[in-house]
Structure 1
Amino acid sequence: MSEKVLIAKGDQKEIYRVGDKTYKSFEPGFPKAEVLNEAMNTARVEETDLNIPKVLAVTVEDGRWTIVKEYIEGKTLAELMEEHPEKKREYLEKLVDLQIEVNSKKCPLLNRLKEKLARQIDSVKELDDITRYDLQTRLDGMPKHLKLCHGDFEPKNIIVQGDKYYIIDWVHAAQGNASADAARTYLLLALEDQKTADEYLEMFCEKTETAKTYVQKWLPIVAAAQLTKKRPQEKELLMRWLDVVDYE
């Protein structure tokens, strides 16, 4: 039997490899609906022709719900960017190209992004009633699109295998506005490095012929949604973005 190798560990889950399979194992008591939703999201995205690790099974092992997927050998785009800083712009451009490819797809059985964001904003205890109302009003006024959105699109979720790029972690996938997806990527990059985030946004807007201010209008909305993660190290920056009514 192949050796069990731990790949990553979080608060309520761990990911390990056995042979050519990846096992994502959740803590006992983790909501079954969330596990099944993640597996279903991934299965639905499989129906596009994007390169993603396929779901092979959903099972229970030692009282833990577990999603079994294909194992993809390679390094993440984040690792390559760190190892080869001289190629950072080249890798950033690949990130943008992959995101544009994702956003070009349709996945009609996924949840609607605007509805998910509305629920997240309502659940954030840190928001006062006026801020919550302003955010919901802004969200309601945004154009309704039905493009495939990853919801957590960043370099650590791209695995590079030779000349192939595999996109992982589709737990937050939804159908909605591509600029909302881009705003979330910008936010995730900015939490790590503001300069990289700014380079990304310039590149995304140029390649998609999108006005930067249009993407930026989504930032307070996705910042509020990110607060549901309850990460203390992010709270100050996210709360600051909520105060921004409009961008120049």
Structure 2
Amino acid sequence: MGTGNTAKVIAREGGTVAKVFYRHIASDFIEYEFAIYEEIAKTPLQVPRLFSFEKEEHALIFERIYGASLMAEMKRSPLFMPYHIRLLAKCHTDIHNCRDLLLPVLRDRLALRISQSNHLNEREKEKILSHLDGLPDHERVLCHGDFHPDNVLITKEGHVIIDWADAAAGSRLADIARSFLLINYGGLTSSRVQGVFRRILAGYYVRCYRKTEPFAKSELQKWILPVAAARLSESIGEREKEVLLKLIHARMNE
């Protein structure tokens, strides 16, 4: 059904799917992800039920969700794209209304990923980490960590939010900044038209979110630098990497 950097998802009988982790992934990592999903299950959000961790199979067993992703719907019906972006923003505010969960701290996760990046020198990392340390850290809302249109499924029963492996507790602005960057640059190609279109969508997503939960644009902008830098530690395409590095260097020189 799909493959990723750490696992592949396989359909099984009985209305379940198995997220089968590659053998080089440690069991501790899988148990950690299992614990994350147990916390998410405490929220009122519609998410896939997690049934078990099958150690022998090196797999987590989830409820199978039948539906198309929001991204697929956007491609199928471009005229309804504004509606789909509004739905995405509404789902995100619902996530951020959840609190008091036992999850990793988002700021710590960002700091670790920045320090692990092979695309920044030590002076650059130091400067970005110093900037991160200066950002407000009083919020502890639920942050998805990788929220974009492919992680919302449209079903007969409503929308279901999937892929919670990067969930953390922290600032909603950091999570919004992540989504803004993903909509804008995630999997970016060299197409100029695509680049312009995605900038429009990313900007519209932020405006839709602000209509429900207002915040100052200037406060969101403060999170772009560390969130973009943390993204560099992931397996991303050359074009996206190039654009993010340009953005990071521009922000550092402001």
Q: TM-score, normalized by length of structure 1?
A: 0.91
Is this contact kept in 2: 1:112–1:174, CA < 8 A? yes
Q: In the aligned structure 2, how far is the partner of 1:12 from the partner of 1:152?
A: 15
Determine the structure 2 residue equivalent to 1:169.
163
Counterpart secondary structure, 1:217: helix
Q: How many residues align?
A: 240
Determine the structure 1 residue equivalent to 2:195.
none
Q: In the aligned structure 1, how far is the partner of 2:6 from the partner of 2:105?
A: 26
User: Structure 2 stretches of 5 or more lacking a match?
Assistant: 189-197
* In the alignment, structure 1 residue 212 sits paired with structure 2 residue 205: no
Determine the structure 2 residue equivalent to 1:45.
40
* In the alignment, structure 1 residue 239 sits paired with structure 2 residue 245: yes
* In the alignment, structure 1 residue 73 sits paired with structure 2 residue 79: no
CA 1:158/1:189 → structure 2, altered by over 3 Å: closer, same or farther? same
1:160 to 154, 159, 163: 154
Q: In the aligned structure 2, how far is the partner of 1:240 from the partner of 1:35?
A: 35
Question: Cα deviation per residue 1:71-125 (whole Å; 9 max; x = unaligned)?
Answer: 1111111111110111101010011011001001014310100111111111112
CA 1:232/1:84 → structure 2, altered by over 3 Å: closer, same or farther? closer
Is this contact kept in 2: 1:154–1:188, CA < 8 A? yes
Is this contact kept in 2: 1:219–1:241, CA < 8 A? no
Counterpart secondary structure, 1:91: helix
Q: TM-score, normalized by length of structure 2?
A: 0.89
Q: In the aligned structure 2, how far is the partner of 1:221 from the partner of 1:104?
A: 23
RMSD: 1.8
Q: In the aligned structure 1, how far is the partner of 2:97 from the partner of 2:10?
A: 32
Task: Flag as ranges the 4+ runs of structure 1 deviating above 6 A.
Answer: none
Q: In the aligned structure 1, how far is the partner of 2:65 from the partner of 2:176?
A: 25
CA 1:73/1:230 → structure 2, altered by over 3 Å: closer, same or farther? closer
User: Structure 1 stretches of 5 or more lacking a match?
Assistant: 1-6
Counterpart secondary structure, 1:165: strand
Determine the structure 2 residue equivalent to 1:4.
none
**Could you tell me the percent identity over the aligned residues?**
27
Determine the structure 2 residue equivalent to 1:121.
114
Question: Cα deviation per residue 1:191-229 (whole Å; 9 max; x = unaligned)?
Answer: 152221121122223332111121121111111111111
How far is the alpha carbon of 1:247 from its aligned partner? 11
1:197 to 181, 196, 202: 202
